[in-house]
Structure 1
């Protein structure tokens, strides 16, 4: 996908959201308009936090893929209670986050082109946790464990409709 295609795709998505806001305004549906504004603001704020995260290799891979596909709805969340280890821990875990993400994308664990994907990074003093939630699952738990056998993985939920995976990266093991 070239730069113009990327721009047109993002512009199209933005115009659709703006058009919905404008329609709510015209119809006097203030509650719906405020709810959508809050949702859009929170999504954009979290995406901006994700874009600026110090795990650059991982972030670059996510956004390279995000702009190359259509039909996917992406949501991002970053949680960190202490800025002191935020930068350091995400930088240290960058390569592992990247490797996990590449396995996820390359194995197409989903079976639909209209997938909703949530990527959540939780940064703690000794751990970075990557949660990946997606719908339209096309693989069984044992296959997922096999694909990610090198990583500390917990399958939070899995069924035909939705899957949530959590990967735990121990910072102390990486610093040694």
Structure 2
């Protein structure tokens, strides 16, 4: 069973011991988040603030009106199991602009075949779905996007209606140009 950690640095012992989530595991949430883009940090802080004690927050805990500054960069995936797949539930306007098309309703593996074919990304999403731990990453985009968008910073957080079984993933992406300026 999933163990929910109040401190995102703690892993469920079984997941940590297995060590089978690939090389991407450097995407764990760092203790010092001062270098994060303020919008990315705001999503993570909000997610923690709505988390019930010893449980994951669910979609029912997310109040969009509480975070209007994040809307254009938010995206949400529904998690399906057997087989494990993800479908876009929503995709903010800045993310749509970067991708060049609307994603809502599309399967992640069909919308971004190279992203899901990449073991680093695939293992990251599987890790979140199986352990209920959020992740963070800053680096080159791993999907087809506007060529001006050279760097992305993402925080991806799990949601669980029952507090334990991840059924949605809520993420926020900030894009940067080649000079490191947010777009």
When normalised by structure 2's length, the TM-score is 0.27
Larger radius of gyration: 1
Task: Write 1 or 2 for the structure with the bigger share of helix.
Answer: 1
